[in-house]
A and B are shown apart, each in its own frame.
Chain A
Amino acid sequence: MIPDSAFALQGLVKRFDTKVAVDGVDLTVPAGSFFGLLGPNGAGKTTTLSMAVGLLRPDAGRALVLGHDVWRDPVQAKSLIGVMPDGVRLFDRLDGTELLTYQGLLRGMAPDVIDARVTELLDVLALTDAGRTLVIDYSAGMKKKIALACALLHAPRLLVLDEPFEAVDPVSGAAIRDILTRYVAGGGTVIFSSHVLEVVERLCTHVAIMANGRISAVGTLDEVRDGRTLEDAFVAVVGGRVSTGSELSWL
């Protein structure tokens, strides 16, 4: 059976103490799609993606990567995805080249393949000079880029990226967008979380909006927008407060 969904989440639930962070998320990411996961802070985006890639054990539910259950068949599933977690440290006492090489070796790649890809990735991401600097001395944007390079290195079929555009300058952002667009055009699938609506609107074919641990709206970009701008659709779904103009008058 060839699944036409690259990534399927079924009834994922996660509780922390008494708080329900993710409350039954079902999501199907079609193969070859560029999928944006939107939501306000604290909606449960990071928790959902962490459960989907094997970083956080769900209380209930399943996550399937190209038909492989991440929690039952982790070896197969994990070899098919590239992950860029957010708010996670890297092995930052290695320099950029060492870190990428290390990732490649962990994935069991052949040394000559690693050599070629590491050099090329560093070049494309404009990190060649930084390849000799310890990652601990990188700026936030450079750390994002090297983490993305780690996720791309083994040419996965599916990329799961948590906040790839946060803290990235416009030039690097354009480079990342370019790489991802080409990756999708080549048959890969990308799912990423973001609250930069403008980037999502420009890149994505499919969008899901999360709020309070649930998926509130999902579909192709046009379905979710439904004639509005994405921002209006987002605010309508999430339900933000409307300014009356009288608050913070002391500022």
Chain B
Amino acid sequence: MALTFVRLKLRVLRNGFRGRPGKVILFVIGLLAALFYGAMAALLFLVPFLPDPPDFGAVIPAFGGTVLVLGWILMPLVWFGVDETLEPGRFALLPLPRATLLRGLLVAALLGVPAFGTLLATSGLAIGAGMAGGPLPALVAAVGVLLGLLLCVVVSRAVTSGFSRALRARRTRDLAAVVLAVLAASLGPLQYLLSSGAQQVGTARLTAVADVLGWTPLGAPYVVGLDAVHGHWAAVAARLAITVATVLLLLWWWSSSLESAMLGTSGGGEVRVRAATGTPVARFFGRTRRPRTAYGAMVVRELRYWVRDVRRRASLITFAVIGVFLPVVTNLGPSADGNIVAQSVHGGSMVLVGALAGLGIANQFGYDGTAYAMHVVTGVPGRVELRARAVAYSWYIVPLLLGLAVLNAVLRRDLLQLPVMFGTLFAAYGTGLASAMHASVWAAYALPENQNPFAINTGTGVAKSFLAMAAWFAGMVLALPVLLLVLLGGTVGAALALPVGLAYAVGAVWLGLITAGDILDHRQPELLAAITPRT
């Protein structure tokens, strides 16, 4: 039965590629990237098994494994989404026992580029254990690696379906956001330890942390190989038991949320009736003072959609979480004093976050899906369309960025830095917005028309997000001049940072609007075709 699911997934994947060379190329790029990083990580995992390993060798399995598992938890939420090629709702009408369905979906989920990359990376543990201790430790390590992979896949499924359920319901929405924030922030201490630990905390402290991690599900499956080589068989048994118990628990959680995912697609739910006051136009604009024109209408509609659309809401929340977490972590780092390295790290984090903020609109048309047809038949001018969307998005993001900069300045106890931070942050936001605008016109892609805000279509999701990453990168590179001005300009540079950064941002957005807008005028039907889900 599970085999049927595997064949189904492969078939869906293959049919998705048919007649779309671009999609195949992206998929191959994704695969090559997975091969490269997987092989590099595998070599790293071999280090502790070398005949004469360096000091830090022993902590690699625990830390590496933890990073992997956390990556599987967070990446689908914040970046890639989960591959819902086989969407549970589609099986709702078939007479399948839940256990069979679960097994089938699990096996199908194991079949993918990220799972392949993870397996390749951790295979280094089994090979190393074999080299150092012979066949039995190799076998134990292999079991650990496989269990670890299972853990990764199950945890990502369980967490995304749990969160999508929570984000859907009005009552638990805010709670879900908070949990997500805490979860992401939990990466903070870890990153701190990794970045500063080696030099400052010393190997002894690192080993202590690694020991603790090794007894949590995060690290347990990856440490068993080393235990087996050293002959700690009781530890092996205990750690494997911890892993198995965690996997079973997560499976149970996933299976219970599966039920609601299947019900969700067959409609139902509360009917939302809204209050009526005034004439239609007055009601449409409410208290906002936007012009009563096509532009004003689009801004208002976009403002509503960022709140009412689960997908968009999820992406806003996610950005808020990363945006707070990333610069805070770099600022709590070891050297928060005034040397040039610390300053570049700090300025760089501003550029990183600013450009990332712009990325929120990289698939802005994909969010609308075929509803965008209304703009096509009406013939909305491209520049007006993009301007309205950028303004509405910035309405939510700019206050967030302001708050973020203030938070950072307070944490560094240096409010005088604020103008400089605003300058770099907004310059990067401007360039990020401009490149994301182009990405949204050139590289839009269809999102499945279901309720899971984290779902993406077929196996090309990873590849598609490479394009978004390219836009992010472009945004950062374009903002470099302002960063260089701040870093190398001394007091003059610091004084100029704010006006120059703001002017730079306005210029970048204006240029992006004009160029991308004119392209959009000629690409409306192609864009509509790109964001239409193939059913």
Interface residues of A (CB under 8 A from B): 17-18, 53-57, 74-75, 78-79, 81, 83, 85, 87-95, 97-98, 100-108, 111, 114-115, 118-119, 131-134, 137, 150
Contact = CB atoms under 8 A, between A and B. Distances in A.
A75 B379 contact: yes
Contact of A55 (B292, B301, B380, B528): B528
A207 B529 CA distance: 29
A43 B309 CA distance: 35
B276 A132 contact: yes
A98 B273 CA distance: 13
Contact of B374 (A17, A98, A103): A103
B205 interface: no
Contacts of A131: 276
Contacts of A132: 273-276
A134 B274 contact: yes
Interface stretch (B226-234, B248-256, B363-371, B433-441): B363-371
B410 interface: no
Interface size class of B (residues with CB under 8 A): 35 or more
9 contacts: A54-B524, A55-B373, A56-B525, A91-B371, A94-B301, A103-B374, A104-B281, A106-B294, A111-B292
Given A75-B379, A89-B370, A97-B284, 16 more contacts: A55-B373, A55-B377, A85-B373, A88-B370, A89-B373, A90-B371, A91-B368, A92-B371, A93-B304, A93-B308, A93-B309, A98-B280, A101-B283, A105-B281, A105-B292, A106-B294
B298 interface: yes
B25 interface: no
B281 A111 contact: yes
Contacts of B281: 101, 104-105, 111, 114-115
Contacts of B19: 17-18
Contacts of B301: 91, 94, 102
Most chain B beta-carbon neighbours within 10 Å: one of A87, A95, A101, A132: A101
A137 B373 contact: no
Which 8 A/B pairs are nearest by Cβ-Cβ distance? A105-B297, A78-B379, A17-B19, A115-B279, A93-B308, A101-B284, A118-B280, A83-B377
Contacts of B507: none
A192 B281 CA distance: 30
Interface of B: 18-19, 271-276, 279-284, 292-294, 296-298, 301, 304-305, 308-309, 368-371, 373-380, 449, 524-526, 528-529
A94 B276 CA distance: 13
A85 B376 CA distance: 11
Contacts of B309: 93
Contacts of B376: 54-55
A101 B280 contact: yes
Nearest to A91: B371
Nearest to B449: A89
Contact of B379 (A79, A88, A91): A79
Contact of B284 (A88, A102, A133): A102
Given A89-B449, A97-B283, A105 B293 contact: yes
B305 A93 contact: yes
B520 to A, nearest CB: 13
Contacts of B377: 53-55, 78, 81, 83, 85
Contacts of A102: 284, 297, 301
Most chain A beta-carbon neighbours within 10 Å: one of B275, B283, B298: B283
B374 A90 contact: yes
Contacts of B370: 87-89
B284 A98 contact: yes
A53 B379 CA distance: 10
A104 B292 CA distance: 10
Nearest to B269: A137
A93 to B, nearest CB: 4
A49 B471 CA distance: 36
B379 A74 contact: yes
Given A53-B377, A98-B283, A103-B378, A17 B18 contact: yes
A65 to B, nearest CB: 12
Nearest to A118: B280
B62 to A, nearest CB: 46
Nearest to A85: B373
Contacts of B273: 132-133
Most chain B beta-carbon neighbours within 10 Å: one of A106, A111, A134: A106
Contacts of B275: 132
A74 B272 CA distance: 37
